[in-house]
Amino acid sequence: MALHITGDTAADALLTENPLALLIGMLLDQQVAMETAFSGPLKIQERVGTMDAAAIAGHDPEAFTEAFKQTPAVHRYPGSMAGRVQALCEVIATEWDDDASQIWTRDDPDGATVLKRLKALPGFGDQKARIFLALLGKQYGFSGAGWREAAGSYGDEGSFRSVADITSPDSLAKVREFKKSVKAAAKAPK
């Protein structure tokens, strides 16, 4: 299993190999292009020297924000997103034994349990948690009972709704087209 989300071999390799990187990428996936969000963990690792939850949580907040601001920026809102990443890493370090994968592996959870665990994380609302659960199920090997149902429409087989469905440049284009159609429908007069 190898993820192909960003179009950058090194960034995708980090997402594939490091569950925390994947979780941080999902956290960053708002108000920026998906490729930018999921390339963020590699930028963080290169700038602060680690992709370890406890180390990131304990990093000096001002220095961490400065790392986010370096060109190219990790996110268009470096201050608030740096704080969110540190808050997420604090929870991973203290509640999940510094191992993000425990969210979907500890005690062999079903899909509903993983969704509940994801929704409890800082910066993960219902939609983001469902998308991440679908990503785990579709591309990351999670096979807990009921994951598709818990992920809602994001778990639909053959859909192109979210980052969970991106496996190639072609599927990225299909996801972009879906998102564009949803935005257009929302703006259309009723």
Mean pLDDT value across residues 51-68: 98
Range of the domain at 115: 108-181
pLDDT tens figures, 87-129? 999 999 999 999 999 999 999 999 999 999 999 999 999 999 9
Examine residue 44 and state whether it is found in any structural domain, yes or no: yes
Neighbours of 60 (CB within 10 A): 11
Examine residue 61 and state whether it is found in any structural domain, yes or no: yes
Least confident of 14-23, 45-54, 133-142, 181-190: 181-190
pLDDT of residue 60: 98
| Burial call 156-181: b when 16+ CB within 10 Å, e when fewer | eeebbbbbbbbeeeeebebbeeeeee
Examine residue 186 and state whether it is found in any structural domain, yes or no: no
Q: Which long-range contacts (CB under 8 A, 24 or more apart) does 29-32 make?
A: 29/128, 29/163, 30/128, 31/76, 31/77, 32/75, 32/76
Examine residue 189 and state whether it is found in any structural domain, yes or no: no
Examine residue 142 and state whether it is found in any structural domain, yes or no: yes
Q: Answer yes or no: do 128 and 158 share one domain.
A: yes
Percent of the chain with pLDDT over 70: 100
Closest by Cα among 152, 154, 110, 139 to 38: 139
What's the whole-number average pLDDT of the chain?
Answer: 96
CATH code: domain of residue 4: 1.10.340
**Burial of 77 (C-beta count, 10 Å sphere; 0-12/13-18/19+):** middle
Q: Answer yes or no: do 61 and 140 share one domain.
A: no
Examine residue 14 and state whether it is found in any structural domain, yes or no: yes
Residues contacting residue 75 through CB under 8 Å, at least 6 positions apart: 28, 32, 36, 37, 40, 68, 81, 82
What total number of domains does the chain contain? 2
Q: Answer yes or no: do 70 and 163 share one domain.
A: no
Q: Answer yes or no: do 84 and 1 share one domain.
A: yes
Examine residue 86 and state whether it is found in any structural domain, yes or no: yes
Q: Answer yes or no: do 141 and 52 share one domain.
A: no
Is-contact 51 41, C-beta < 8 A?
yes
Q: Answer yes or no: do 116 and 38 share one domain.
A: no
Q: Answer yes or no: do 114 and 153 share one domain.
A: yes
Q: Answer yes or no: do 115 and 23 share one domain.
A: no
Q: Answer yes or no: do 95 and 5 share one domain.
A: yes
Domain end: 65, 100, 135, which one? Answer: 100
Distance CA 28, CA 49 (A): 19
Residues contacting residue 51 through CB under 8 Å, at least 6 positions apart: 14, 18, 20, 21, 24, 41, 44, 45
Q: pTM for this one?
A: 0.95
